[in-house]
Amino acid sequence: MLFEPVEYLVEETGFGTWRRFLDDKGNRFAEFKSHATWAGLPLVHYTYGKCPETGRRIVARGVIAVGRLAWGIIAVGHASFGLIAIGQLAIGVAFGLGQAASGVVCIGQLAIGALFGLGQFATGYVVIGQFALGSYVLAQLGLGEHVIDMRAADPVAKQFFQPLLKLFGG
């Protein structure tokens, strides 16, 4: 079917337009774009499956973007990029949440944060992780200026993390 004309099931709603297709093998494609826009982007863009015309995934691009590949102010997808990004690979400008995440503030198995990182492997100015690198570090194994880890507890780090440690009985 690649590069052949495709007859989509198109449904107009008050909020936006759905475009759907199901091929004879059961592969489903769906896309939604809201009528409302901001700065030339749809308010919501959702994609699912591979485009039957090209065999490729369509990148969801919108203020709120949801899809396997997503790019937006708020982006949710396996690979996402946005001001706020959530996904397996989440590249967030302000916030990233995912297996591999980056951002000013981020949480992930691999968390590369500028200000704050929380994760198994984490970086940031303030960082909490199993293996962590930063200025104020709370970790199993940490590197940085003020570190609490299994080897030692820097007095400045103890004072910095004291409210958090008290919260968890430490």
The reported pTM is: 0.89
In this model, does residue 1 exceed pLDDT 60?
no
Is pLDDT of 69 > 70?
Answer: yes
> Cα separation of 133 and 78, whole Å?
26
pLDDT at 170 over 90: no
> DSSP code of 153?
B
Cβ 39 vs Cβ 46: under 8 Å:
no
Residue 153 has pLDDT above 60, yes or no: yes
Domain ranges of the chain: 1-77, 101-170
pLDDT range class, residue 165, cuts 50, 70, 90: confident
CA atoms within 13 A on the CB side of 129: 29
